[in-house]
Amino acid sequence: MNAQTDWDDVRYFLAVAREGSLSAAARVLGVNHSTVLRRLTGLEAAMGVQLFDKLPRGYVLTAAGEDMHRTALSVEDTLAAASRRLSGRDAQLEGTLRITTVDILAMHILPRHLAAFRALHPGIRVDMTVAEANLSLTRREADVAIRLAAQLPENLVGRSLSGLAFAPYGEVGMVARHGAAPPAEACWVGLDESFDHTAMVRWLRAEVPAERIVQRVNSVAVLVESVRAGLGYGLLPCALADRMPELRRVGPPVPDSGVRLWLLTHGDLRMMGRVRAFLSFMAAALTSDRDLLEGRLPQPVPALADV
């Protein structure tokens, strides 16, 4: 990397190095495939070296690319640290706050709390990115993360606000036909291999024969909708399913799922005015939802639109 290197080109280089393909890097950067290729080609021309080998498994760093990668990561870390320190000095309750979370929280838990926060702090605009993958708070891809995890992620500060209970559910008509418990031949909907690390998938493998799983999806929100449609039974978050009159719980919550709800930021950002205000507000709001999140609300309860 030299004095004439455009840092924006380096961002594209780092995205390709992280994602392993032009298309994946383009999705992360919010641009099209050709833009990534053009910026990468321009960087290689400026540097006078080939940075990637294009192999069947994707873009792989060359020896020169590895050297460039180490230097670029060091510069990125330095710039990100400076940005966090400077941002952390901002005590004003205005500006943009970037948060990241998963679909089930974004769709069913957070909207009413974000509306209340907006009413209290109209000068703060909250931009929310919904992603199963964890965005980096270290690189300022987000200021606050509301995540589901078993333990506190490294390099972040925050607190666990609640557990998250999961239980088996069925559509009310299906439950009426089959009775209080799913029959042995019942169809189920499950999560795909991207969730193999979770207690939800481990429970399903232990309790439901593979041949009874008629559909797998890569989104808990889609799983909920499939069960609501009557496609099959499913292991669902109680915080969503208990608020849906179309669903009935047909078994106890999974014991010791290990999933916790975390409210997180980077240590350099926690004194920023709008981050501090959001963390304080959301900690109280989500703590008040613990009975809902941990599956202690009775069924039936009002429909989502009536809450």
The CATH number covering residue 222 comes to 3.40.190.10
- Same domain for 37 and 76: yes
Domain that holds residue 75: 7-88
Asked if the structure places residue 226 within a domain, the reply is yes
Q: What is the pLDDT of residue 106?
A: 92
What is the pLDDT tens value at each position of the chain, 307 positions in all? 544 556 778 888 888 988 888 888 888 888 888 888 888 888 888 888 899 988 888 899 998 888 888 888 877 776 666 665 555 455 567 888 999 898 889 998 999 999 999 999 999 999 998 876 555 554 557 889 998 887 776 677 888 899 999 999 999 999 999 888 898 899 999 998 888 888 888 899 999 999 999 999 988 899 999 999 999 999 999 999 998 999 999 999 988 777 889 998 887 777 788 888 999 999 999 999 999 999 887 765 444 444 3
Structure tokens belonging to residue 280: 């304080």
Q: What is the pLDDT of residue 127?
A: 93
Q: What is the pLDDT of residue 267?
A: 75
The position carrying tokens 């089930």 is 104
- Same domain for 143 and 111: yes
- Same domain for 73 and 107: no
Q: What is the pLDDT of residue 67?
A: 87
Asked if the structure places residue 199 within a domain, the reply is yes
Q: Which residues of 78-114 are buried (b: 16+ CB within 10 A; e: fewer)?
A: eebeeebeebbeeeeeeeebbbbbbebbbbbbbeebb
Q: What is the pLDDT of residue 134?
A: 56
Q: What is the pLDDT of residue 305?
A: 41
Distances (CA, A) of 11 to 68, 82, 100: 12, 17, 20
Asked if the structure places residue 48 within a domain, the reply is yes
- Same domain for 182 and 66: no
The position carrying tokens 């069924």 is 299
- Same domain for 78 and 111: no
Number of domains forming the structure of the chain: 3
- Same domain for 274 and 154: yes
Closest CA to 274 of 82, 96, 80, 84: 96
Please work out, in degrees rounded to the nearest 5, the angle formed at the alpha carbon of residue 104 by the alpha carbons of 100 and 108.
105
Asked if the structure places residue 285 within a domain, the reply is yes
Asked if the structure places residue 217 within a domain, the reply is yes
Q: What is the pLDDT of residue 302?
A: 42
Asked if the structure places residue 302 within a domain, the reply is no
